Amino acid sequence: MRFSSQCLVLALVLFVPVAWAEPLRVVATFSILADLVKNVGGEDVAVTTLVSADGDAHVYEPTPADAKAVGNAQLVVVNGLRFEGWMDRLVKSAAYQGEIVVASQGVTPRQMAEDKDEQTKQHHGKNRHEGHDHGEIDPHAWQDLANGQIYVNNIMAALAKVDPTHAEAYKKRGEAYRAQLQETDQWVRAQLATVPPAKRKVITSHDAFGYFGAAYGVEFLAPVGWNTENEPSAKQIATLIRQIKREGTRALFVENMSDPRLIKRIADEAGGVVGGTLYSDALAPAGQPGDSYLGLFRYNVPALAAAMAKN
């Protein structure tokens, strides 16, 4: 039996490999946001992270490679709440004209009351540095898993808007991931319920856990405010050491993206012990505990509970 030339051409066309669409090019400003985008976007996105694992977004200085990545992106995801003080300049230098989603949109921000006393203002970042000022707003909203769910909703909507072809896939992944965040939130509350409320006091490198503290009933103090670029005065450090001694706080932690020397000095002078490392503004490198947003809580919470139990 012979095939006509038309049949042969048709057969060849049918067996030509299909060229799949390339993943959506997304830029996320720091590692925690990048992980959220990857969980919602899956194989339909290719994520570039500007401030990588163990990096400090407060003091980050963008590179020419960052400008190139932003200029080539189809979607840029930022935290907002004045966290990335360098981002506006980067977007301008990259001549980026695409969609920018503020992941924290809809979060109720923590703000400093005007009638706070001076000591509390210092603890909460009242001292400012030009160019990296968070003002009166705490930007670390992701530390409350309820806010994490708001982040996911915003990312899900932004991906669907820019890439409507995969909107249903983004919705399916986003809803499944949001359910994991809800489950983890309940787990956090159960873990911390084992610690008496009077013992729930922690000292950290900088004031990054205010949302966590408000959501889960833990009091956090820090020698540095919301912005790691601020440097505490000798008076502030002395005041914190006196408070630690007075209250018998023994739960002291460094953060993975902070210089550990200050906390170690405070622990020595206050008679405390550094209980380990917490993940606050950045994830751990891949393959280590704390290398995902959910992993951050799964690592931090047991460490906090064990240390606070010794207070």
3 state DSSP class of 4: coil
CA 143 – CA 209 distance, rounded (Å) = 6
Same domain, 160 and 293: no
**Domain total for the chain?**
2
Supply the DSSP symbol for 46: E
- Quote the pLDDT of residue 22: 93
- Quote the pLDDT of residue 161: 98
Q: Is residue 17 part of a domain?
A: no
Domain extent for 268:
190-308
Supply the DSSP symbol for 39: H
Q: Is residue 156 part of a domain?
A: yes
Same domain, 120 and 63: yes
- Quote the pLDDT of residue 239: 80
Picking from 59, 28, 287, the residue whose alpha carbon sits closest to that of residue 142 is: 28
pTM here? Answer: 0.84
Same domain, 138 and 228: no
pLDDT along the chain (311 residues), means of 10: 49 45 95 98 98 93 97 98 96 97 97 47 36 66 98 98 98 98 98 96 90 97 67 79 81 83 83 85 96 98 94 85
- Quote the pLDDT of residue 288: 95
Same domain, 160 and 219: no
Count the neighbouring beta carbons within 10 Å of the beta carbon of residue 235.
Answer: 10
CATH number reported for the structural domain that contains residue 103 in this entry: 3.40.50.1980
